[in-house]
């Protein structure tokens, strides 16, 4: 008589067997995270160790005493007072202020440019619409460095100089810069005057600053125009139709109905463009504008403190970008639709 095989228990009648730990959903994520975390820590330890070992070997351990030494070079276009006898940290500060100046004006200009062009791409005027497309496609597909060099050497440096400069009441545009009338010494109103072949005026912007600014505004403006266009396109067509059935004009529709609703789409994209603009401003060295990067490069060369100077640069640009990001996140919070 053949032995009767034991009856197989039905699966449901048994408690589920405990899976091995490597298949346990409660364990695996922890293990993976711990391993990855450990690897990252090891990598950091290795890099830091390598840094310190090599710097020690080269006799270049981090030192910040050079910040107090006199810089020895001049900066022609400093907003804060500066001369060659002041220490390096003052030179770096002057460079940073120059960078911030270019970034701030650039942000405002690029935003205006971008909004106008973005709006124009929804215009009823076909010519305007196509012009906006051509501008965006041409500008955003050419490297910024090339554009800066173009603005500086081809446009600004071909301006006439001295007596031949372009003169309007209160404003003079010459090869050396833009001169604007303002309150001069003794709070007297002063217009641009030619002294010893050089224009003088209370408000003076160099062509280097002009070329950098033009380049940044035109370049970032094209990207912002696309962000604005995307934002406007995201507003449902019904909104346009409803506004027009109420008798609102194209511009009034855009301003009162569409743009406010598109802001929540535009602002996050704008944040990215603003950050790029701040970083792109370091291309100023190509057109002779003395910004933070330019000062840092000379400092690095004179002092030989490559790691320290690069750290200062990294920290400065990181802080600037994080500030812009924080402000834009705040703005983003404001323009989101709030459920009531």
Partner 1 sequence: MIRAALSFGTAVTLLAALGALVGCAAGNGAPGSPTMAKIRERGRLVCAVDGAVPGFSTVGPGGAFVGIDADFCRAVAAAVLGDPGKVEFRPVTAGERFVALSSGEVDLLSISSTHTLSRDAPGGNGLSFGPVFFYDGQGVMVPKASGIRSLRQLAGQPICVESGTNTELNLADRMRELGLAYQPLRFQSGEQAYPAYEQGRCAAITSDSSLLAAKRSGFKDPGAHGLLPELLSKEPSAKVTVQADPAWADAVRWVTYTLIQAEESGLTQANIEASRDAAQADTSQAEARRFLGIKGDFGRQLGLPADFTLQVVKAVGNYGELFERHLGPATPLGLERGFNRLWSRGGLHIAPPFR
Q: Minimum distance from CB of 27 to partner 1 (Å)?
A: 20
- How far apart CA 268 and CA 340 sit, in angstroms, is 23
Q: Is 60 exposed, middle or buried (CB count within 10 Å of its CB: 0-12, 13-18, 19+)? A: middle
Based on CB atoms, which residue is closest to partner 1, 27 or 164? 164
The counts of H helices and E strands in the chain are: 10, 8
- How far apart CA 69 and CA 63 sit, in angstroms, is 12
Based on CB atoms, which residue is closest to partner 1, 82 or 223? 82
Q: Is 272 exposed, middle or buried (CB count within 10 Å of its CB: 0-12, 13-18, 19+)? A: middle
Q: Minimum distance from CB of 331 to partner 1 (Å)?
A: 18
CA distances from 159 to 6, 173, 177 (A): 102, 8, 9
Q: Minimum distance from CB of 136 to partner 1 (Å)?
A: 28
Q: Minimum distance from CB of 82 to partner 1 (Å)?
A: 11
Q: Minimum distance from CB of 205 to partner 1 (Å)?
A: 13
Based on CB atoms, which residue is closest to partner 1, 242 or 326? 326
Buried b (16+ CB within 10 A) or exposed e, 149-168: bebbeeebeebeeeeebebe
Q: Minimum distance from CB of 189 to partner 1 (Å)?
A: 22
Helix, strand or coil, per DSSP, at residue 207: helix
Q: Minimum distance from CB of 76 to partner 1 (Å)?
A: 4
Tokens of 81: 């007072």
> Is residue 206 within 8 Å of residue 101, measured between CB atoms?
no
- Local structure of residue 66 (DSSP, 8 states): G
Q: Are strands 171-174 and 182-183 parallel, antiparallel or unpaired?
A: unpaired
- How far apart CA 301 and CA 219 sit, in angstroms, is 31
- How far apart CA 289 and CA 300 sit, in angstroms, is 18
Based on CB atoms, which residue is closest to partner 1, 7 or 58? 58
Based on CB atoms, which residue is closest to partner 1, 75 or 92? 75
**Would you tell me which residues interact with partner 1 (CB under 8 A)?**
40, 43-44, 46-48, 50-51, 53-55, 57-60, 72-77, 83-85, 152-153, 157-158, 161, 175-176, 195-198, 207-208, 285-288, 290, 294, 297-298, 300-304, 306-307, 310, 314
Based on CB atoms, which residue is closest to partner 1, 252 or 306? 306
Based on CB atoms, which residue is closest to partner 1, 259 or 296? 296
Based on CB atoms, which residue is closest to partner 1, 71 or 110? 71
Based on CB atoms, which residue is closest to partner 1, 110 or 267? 267
Q: Minimum distance from CB of 115 to partner 1 (Å)?
A: 29
Side-chain half-sphere exposure of 332, counting CA atoms within 13 A: 14
Q: What values do phi and psi take at 193, rounded to 5? A: -130, 150
Q: Minimum distance from CB of 74 to partner 1 (Å)?
A: 5
> Is residue 124 within 8 Å of residue 322, measured between CB atoms?
no
Distant-in-sequence, close-in-space partners of 26: CB < 8 Å, separation ≥ 6: none
């Amino acid at each position: 008589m053949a032995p009767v095989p034991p009856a197989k228990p039905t699966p449901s009648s048994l408690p589920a067997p405990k899976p091995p730990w490597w298949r346990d959903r409660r364990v695996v994520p922890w293990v993976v995270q711990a391993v990855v975390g450990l690897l990252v820590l090891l990598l950091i330890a290795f890099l830091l160790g390598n840094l310190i070992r090599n710097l020690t070997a080269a006799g270049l351990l981090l030192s910040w005493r050079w910040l107090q030494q006199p810089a020895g070079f001049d900066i022609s276009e400093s907003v804060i007072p500066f001369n060659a006898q002041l220490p390096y940290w003052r030179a770096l500060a002057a460079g940073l202020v120059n960078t911030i100046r270019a970034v701030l004006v650039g942000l405002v200009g690029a935003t205006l440019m971008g909004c106008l062009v973005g709006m124009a791409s929804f215009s009823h005027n076909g010519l305007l619409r196509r012009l906006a497309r051509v501008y965006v496609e041409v500008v955003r597909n050419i490297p910024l460095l090339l554009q800066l060099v173009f603005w500086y050497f081809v446009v600004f440096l071909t301006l006439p100089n001295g007596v031949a400069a372009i003169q309007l009441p209160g404003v003079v545009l010459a090869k050396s810069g833009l001169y604007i009338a303002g309150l001069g010494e003794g709070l007297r109103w002063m217009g641009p005057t030619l002294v010893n072949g050089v224009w003088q005026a209370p408000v003076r912007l160099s062509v280097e600053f002009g070329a950098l600014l033009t380049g940044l505004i035109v370049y970032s403006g094209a990207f912002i125009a696309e962000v604005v266009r995307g934002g406007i396109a995201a507003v449902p067509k019904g909104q346009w139709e409803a506004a027009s059935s109420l008798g609102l004009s194209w511009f009034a529709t855009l301003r009162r109905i569409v743009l406010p609703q598109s802001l929540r789409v535009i602002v996050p994209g704008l944040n990215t463009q603003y950050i790029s603009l701040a970083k792109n401003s370091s291309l100023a060295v190509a057109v002779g504008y003395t910004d933070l990067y330019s000062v840092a490069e000379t400092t690095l060369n004179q002092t030989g403190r490559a790691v320290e100077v690069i750290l200062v640069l990294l920290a400065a640009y990181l802080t600037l970008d994080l500030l812009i990001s924080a402000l834009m996140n705040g703005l983003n919070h404001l323009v989101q639709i709030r459920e009531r």
